[in-house]
Structure 1
């Protein structure tokens, strides 16, 4: 049996996650369930897409990913099941899967049409679980929906390059557990526009002219340990997902704080890069 993953904004206080898992096991006790996260900020589709995009590829081909973020059915938020990069995704057509498909074209998309057969006020529990179980049993997408080729256009934050290619304007799209700020500016975009020019990265009144490949590149290990004093220093890096990230070295939200709190940065805040000739 394939793995079913759960990515939601439900948190863990309420009954929702437990009920979903119970419903999955009621379909088949042989199914395997993996929680990716239940702590997406409410209705934050950009954050959900970022987390899922960087997690799903670690799962075996054929895995089924249920997305419980902004999932209420309405005329502008239809339910879809998508086969993408040999994985299955079940969720609302709200932009999350559009963001996921920026790397791979969907192999198949269906608009789910079993709602008349399933009474539901909680679609993740009543509809998405049924669809996931159907796929897990080897069922085809055409049985639970009508084929379509379109996904809802995404109007979320995307980096903008100036016409003369002297500046990239991006935004904060994610704040991780350490308080580090992840931007939507990729290493690929940065390198393609930079063309070996010097640059200045700005976030509020904070400036950076170096982007490291890992956190410890900040440290001069030739110095004696008691002379380094790098803890709490700010830096910019290309993170493991190759997005530009602003961080505090060895940050701890419970003591010194993180980049978000110490630098006054939050979701959607602007981060810009100016390229300098000569």
Structure 2
């Protein structure tokens, strides 16, 4: 029984997800179809990339991941299949895949257009993605799906600004608990720390955090804390509170870490 996941920005009241699942079940006998996430903001490929990047490696090898965010194709953003570390990814090469993979993936295929279903021209998830997934699920060769490509459409990820005494990061994701996830990795933080003291500045100087917690309950309810989450990224949170809503933090908000000699 193979696994096919779906990550989308579709609203639950629409028929799109039901139609895609129905077609996959018709074409892929015995498939286990998993909803990776359907809470992506409309057209937000950065958010989709963050979720897929941090979730896909927990699925078994051979899994097929369909990503249906900002799927409309252009001349320089074709439909593609990416194979990487035993997993297949199907979507539009709109910069999202460049954000998912740190290194060049193992193989990239530009999908052939399906000219037999013109009535589904504006629904590539049915006319292109489902057929590609079915081909792979039924042990078809990846190379038969289209032409091999050398690189992905380039979208440069937002990186933290590193100075000797300061790291300035950006909030890249707000989770369902209103916690703010920052583009400062655990490795980057500790390699810059070098045994010094530090302050994490939230909303300029209004809120200071001077330690890294291990658990949310390390601080009283309603207090702010910093933690490194399971993805290894800095997370600013509030114990049993909605930090981002209360402090009006959004994606692209600055979070600064200042280092001080002891």
TM-score grouping bracket, smaller chain normalisation: over 0.9
- Contact preservation (8 Å) 1:79, 1:111: yes
Matches within 5 A, 1:159-238: 159-162=160-163, 165-204=164-203, 205-218=206-219, 230-238=220-228
Question: For residues 239-264 of structure 1, what are the alpha-carbon distances to aligned partners after superposition, in whole Å with 9 as ceiling and x for unaligned?
Answer: 1111111111023xxxxxx0111121
Matches within 5 A, 1:104-143: 105-119=104-118, 120-143=121-144
Aligned partner of 2:57 in structure 1 is 57
Q: TM-score, normalised by structure 1?
A: 0.88
Unaligned runs of 5+ residues in structure 1 are 219-229, 252-257
Deviation, structure 1 residue 22? 0.9
Deviation, structure 1 residue 19? 0.8
Q: 2:253 aligns with which of 269, 274, 277?
A: 269
Task: Output the CA distance in 1 between the equivalents of 2:228 and 2:132.
Answer: 37
- Contact preservation (8 Å) 1:53, 1:100: yes
SS at match of 2:14: coil
Question: For residues 147-167 of structure 1, what are the alpha-carbon distances to aligned partners after superposition, in whole Å with 9 as ceiling and x for unaligned?
Answer: 1120111234222213xx322
Task: Output the CA distance in 2 between the equivalents of 1:134 and 1:213.
Answer: 45
Q: Which runs of 4+ in 1 moved over 4 A?
A: none
Aligned partner of 1:72 in structure 2 is 72
SS at match of 1:109: strand
Question: For residues 15-48 of structure 1, what are the alpha-carbon distances to aligned partners after superposition, in whole Å with 9 as ceiling and x for unaligned?
Answer: 1111110111121332110001111111111211
Deviation, structure 1 residue 131? 0.5
Deviation, structure 1 residue 78? 1.5
- Contact preservation (8 Å) 2:114, 2:127: no
Question: For residues 216-235 of structure 1, what are the alpha-carbon distances to aligned partners after superposition, in whole Å with 9 as ceiling and x for unaligned?
Answer: 233xxxxxxxxxxx111111
- Contact preservation (8 Å) 1:214, 1:238: no
Aligned partner of 2:155 in structure 1 is 154
Deviation, structure 1 residue 59? 0.8
Number of residues of Structure 1 aligned to a counterpart in Structure 2? 258
Aligned partner of 1:89 in structure 2 is 89
Task: Output the CA distance in 1 between the equivalents of 2:130 and 2:216.
Answer: 40
SS at match of 2:73: coil
Unaligned runs of 5+ residues in structure 2 are none
- Contact preservation (8 Å) 1:211, 1:236: yes
